[in-house]
C-alpha cells in the first residue's frame, strides 16, 4: 500500500529580486516593488510531500523524526533568517520563490532517502504559492 505524507514547516527570509543581466529599468519593470534595493522579507510555509509503502511494523511512510530532523538540518537552518541574495546558490540566480522551491527540492532529493520525494510547495504570501516536483532537464 502506497501512501503520501505532507509535512509543513515555517521559516523567514528576505530577498531582493534583481537580475544583473537586466538594466535598472528592466528590473523595476519586471520585479516592481520586489526590486527594492533594501529587499523585503517573507514568512514562508514549506510543505514537503513524500510517498512510499506503509511500513507494516510502524504504520508509517517514513519516520517523522527523521524527516523533521533532515528538513531542520538541511533546509530550515540554511534559509531561516537569511538574506537569500547572500547565499551561494543565488549568486547567479535571482532568488525568486520559484528558484527557492527548486533549490529546496534538490536538497531534499539528494539527501532524504527514507521515502520518495513527491514535491515541495512553498507559500510566500497568502496569495502566492509555488510547487516543484522535479524535472529531467538540467538546472544550470
Query: What is the tally of structural domains in the chain?
Result: 1
Q: Is residue 140 part of a domain?
A: no
Selected residue with higher pLDDT from 136 and 94: 94
Q: Is residue 60 part of a domain?
A: yes
Measured between alpha carbons, how far is 112 from 67 in angstroms, rounded to an integer? 8
Residue of 122, 119, 107 lying closest to 51 (CA atoms): 119
- What pLDDT score was predicted for residue 135? 81
* 30-40 residue pLDDT tens: 999 999 999 99
* 30-70 residue pLDDT tens: 999 999 999 999 999 999 999 999 999 999 999 999 999 99
Q: Are strands 116-123 and 129-132 parallel, antiparallel or unpaired?
A: antiparallel
Grid cell of 5 as nine digits: 505524507
pLDDT(77) > 80: yes
Q: What percent of the chain has pLDDT over 90?
A: 91
Q: What percent of the chain has pLDDT over 70?
A: 96
Q: Is residue 23 part of a domain?
A: yes
Measured between alpha carbons, how far is 32 from 27 in angstroms, rounded to an integer? 7
Q: Is residue 138 part of a domain?
A: no
- Residue 55: give its domain's CATH number: 3.30.479.10
- Domain limits at 46? 2-132
Measured between alpha carbons, how far is 17 from 36 in angstroms, rounded to an integer? 8
* Whole-prediction pTM: 0.92
3 state DSSP class of 138 = coil
Amino acid at each position: 500500500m502506497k501512501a503520501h505524507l505532507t509535512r509543513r514547516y515555517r521559516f523567514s527570509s528576505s530577498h531582493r529580486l534583481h537580475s544583473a543581466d537586466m538594466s535598472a529599468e528592466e528590473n523595476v519593470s519586471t520585479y516592481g516593488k520586489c526590486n527594492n534595493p533594501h529587499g523585503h522579507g517573507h514568512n514562508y510555509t514549506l510543505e514537503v510531500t513524500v510517498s512510499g509503502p506503509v511500513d507494516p511494523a510502524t504504520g508509517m511512510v517514513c519516520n517523522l523524526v527523521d524527516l523533521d530532523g533532515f528538513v531542520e538540518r538541511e533546509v530550515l537552518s540554511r534559509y531561516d533568517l537569511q538574506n537569500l541574495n547572500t547565499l551561494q546558490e543565488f549568486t547567479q540566480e535571482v532568488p525568486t520563490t520559484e528558484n527557492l522551491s527548486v533549490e529546496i527540492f534538490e536538497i531534499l532529493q539528494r539527501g532524504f532517502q527514507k521515502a520518495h520525494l513527491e514535491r515541495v510547495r512553498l507559500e510566500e504570501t497568502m496569495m502566492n504559492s509555488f510547487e516543484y516536483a522535479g524535472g529531467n532537464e538540467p538546472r544550470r
